[in-house]
Structure 1
Amino acid sequence: MHTHIAEAIKKPDLISLRPDVICLRFETMKIYSALGAVRHLLESGAVQPGDTLVDSSSGIYAQALALACHRYGMQCHIVGSTTVDRTLRAQLEILGVTLEQVRPSKNLRLDQELRVRRIAEILEANPSYHWMRQYHDSIHYLGYRDVAATIAREVPDGALALVGGVGSGASTGAIATYLREAGRDVSLVGVQPFGSVTFGSEHVSDPDMIIAGIGSAIPFRNVRHELYDRIHWVNFDCALSGAVELLRSSGIFAGLSAGAAYLTTRWERSRDASRTHVFIAADTGHRYVESAYARHAEAPDIDTLKPHEITSLDELSHPWSTASWSDLPVPHGS
């Protein structure tokens, strides 16, 4: 029996779509990150019960940190993106979270810069607050050790391809790292939106993909570029096609990043059928109903989609590009 809801909902489901394609499906993935980080901070004495933890979030980390704070008796202050919807906002308020949302923006850089600027103001006014720094502090890797152990235990021996949205870098980076340390052959495939500085696509915009939360307009130190073997840049329409097809074919109702990862997995499997492909569905599809799923009739047929293989970041183009990362120059600041 679980003693707290955070422990109950953190465990992922491994769903076999076919013998060599597995969905690692979470209700909300970042609970692993938040629980592991808060537990480490308490055990190390960096914070004390009752202290206030503050961070920025586009959505699922806000819920995760709120639940981790509730679990360990901490106060929580979130500076949220405009993508924090009414459903999540109500949950956060009832959990006692202080939530601020930056002004609406369709520009990823502006949205993130506004949040970072507000965090700095909060810390200046409240020096006792602890900034969680989910994008930069490696303590957010710690919680994913258990996820890697689950994959190692439940997925048959053999080479793996792990596919997922890069985002802060902690989830895909940590899971691949822990599996590799345990001796598993893992190819790590990262999914990015256009417009993200993380893997050099900031010169190709796609404002719709701000809702996916898998890219960044500022460098994230938790992204360790050398861990990734291949990168796929996917636009909103392609991610929507992947999400719709994933729901239609498997019944899995997941977020846009899962749709992009599923689309990517189908392509990667066609290139290399020697590996078992595990793709990450980081959250459910509920917060994407109005912004994405309501437009399902507009989604292109997934079988008509094919990526553009590039040899230079200058060749990046919509709707979908891909490359072996080691063959491309590393972006400035990474």
Structure 2
Amino acid sequence: MDDHIADALSRPALVRTGDGIACLRFETMKVVSAMAAVRHLLDRGTVTEGDTLVDSSSGIYAHALALACHRHGLRCHIVASTTVDRTLTAQLSILGATVEPMPPTPNLKLDQNRRVARVHEILRDNPRHYWMRQYHDDIHYLGYRVVADLLRRELGASGLTVVGGVGTGASTGALATYLREHDPSVRLVGVQPFDSVTFASDHVHDPEIIIAGIGSSIPFANVDHRLYDVMHWFGFPAAMSGAVALLREHAVFAGLSSGAAYLAARWERREDPTRRVVFIAPDTGHRYVEAAYTRHPEAPSPDSLAPHPVTSPADMAQPWSRMPWNRAPAPPRAAAHPARAAS
């Protein structure tokens, strides 16, 4: 029996979703990283019970950090994106977190920049607060070791391809790092939205971009670009297609990044049927109901879609592009200061 719901939420389900394809499905993925990071900070004495942890979030991390703080007797302050809905805001408040919503903005790029700037203001006025630096500190890799162990037990590491939204790099980067300790040939396929600086898609604009959490308008220091073998970039229509197909074909109700990862996983399996593919579904689809799921009749069939093959980010095009990354370093605009190494 678990002592806290956060312990249960840290464990994902592994579901077969086709020949040679599996879905690593979380209800709230970042609980596993937030719990391990907070436990690590407490064990080192960096924070103590009653301290306040602060960060900005578009949704999943806010819930994860609030749960970890509730579990360990810490205070939590969230600078919330405009994508954080009333349901999550109510949960965070009842869990004891201070939720500071950002005012509406014309696009998510401005929203993200303003959130980070607001965190710096809070830290200036409250020097005892601890910034979790979810975008910059690779302490958030730690919790995924147990998930990598699960994949190795269930699927083996040999001949495995991992597919998932890049975001801060913690989930996909950590899984590849830990799996490659046993088999360096594990392949890592990243999923990004257009309009993200992380893998140089910021020149391709998507007016409907709502794939929150897997892209960025600022450099993320804990994304190690040299871990990734292939990149896929998705626009809203293709991501919606994948999400609707995942629910229709396998009854997995998940977010838009999960839909994008599902399409990428199907493609990678088709490209090399000798490899088994596992893709990450980091959250449920509830916050995308109005924006995407109620529009399911508009979703194109996945079989009608194929990625535009590119050899340079400059050549990418909507609604879906794919490029071998070949473990190359960060593009110039995505380069950031090195992340603080987690011990």
Give TM-score scaled by structure 1 length: 0.97
Runs of 4+ in 1 over 2 A off after TM superposition: 182-185, 207-212, 326-330
Report the Cα offset of residue 328 of structure 1: 7.1
Report the Cα offset of residue 157 of structure 1: 5.5
Report the Cα offset of residue 207 of structure 1: 3.6
The residue type paired with residue 158 of structure 2 is: G
The residue that corresponds to 2:210 in the other structure is: 210
Percent of residue pairs bearing the same amino acid type: 62
Report the Cα offset of residue 192 of structure 1: 0.3
The residue that corresponds to 2:198 in the other structure is: 198
Report the Cα offset of residue 156 of structure 1: 4.0
Gaps of 5+ in 1: none
Indicate conservation of the 8 Å contact 2:158/2:186, yes or no: no
**d(CA) in 1 for partners of 2:207, 2:225:** 24
The residue type paired with residue 276 of structure 1 is: R
1:95-142: CA deviations, max 9, x gaps? 111001111124232011110110011001100000000010110000
**d(CA) in 2 for partners of 1:10, 1:293:** 26
Report the Cα offset of residue 234 of structure 1: 0.5
Q: How does 1:125-274 map to 2 (within 5 A)?
A: 125-156=125-156, 158-183=158-183, 185-274=185-274
The residue that corresponds to 2:340 in the other structure is: none
The residue type paired with residue 170 of structure 2 is: A
Change (3 A) 1:92 1:194: same
The residue that corresponds to 2:322 in the other structure is: 322
Indicate conservation of the 8 Å contact 1:136/1:221, yes or no: yes
Residue aligned with 1:208, SS:
coil
The residue type paired with residue 231 of structure 1 is: M
Residue aligned with 1:18, SS:
coil
**d(CA) in 2 for partners of 1:327, 1:52:** 37
Indicate conservation of the 8 Å contact 2:246/2:253, yes or no: yes
The residue that corresponds to 1:29 in the other structure is: 29
**d(CA) in 1 for partners of 2:81, 2:129:** 20
The residue type paired with residue 321 of structure 1 is: S
Report the Cα offset of residue 211 of structure 1: 3.8
Residue aligned with 2:128, SS:
coil
Report the Cα offset of residue 147 of structure 1: 0.5
Count of residue pairs brought into register by the alignment: 334
**d(CA) in 2 for partners of 1:3, 1:219:** 37
Gaps of 5+ in 2: 336-343
Let me know the Cα RMSD of the aligned residues: 1.3
1:12-40: CA deviations, max 9, x gaps? 00001234100000011000110010000
Residue aligned with 1:209, SS:
coil
**d(CA) in 2 for partners of 1:111, 1:12:** 30
**d(CA) in 1 for partners of 2:41, 2:156:** 35
**d(CA) in 2 for partners of 1:47, 1:206:** 41
Report the Cα offset of residue 212 of structure 1: 2.9
Give TM-score scaled by structure 2 length: 0.95
The residue type paired with residue 47 of structure 2 is: V
Q: How does 1:13-92 map to 2 (within 5 A)?
A: 13-92=13-92
**d(CA) in 1 for partners of 2:216, 2:241:** 22
**d(CA) in 2 for partners of 1:12, 1:155:** 14
Report the Cα offset of residue 182 of structure 1: 2.4
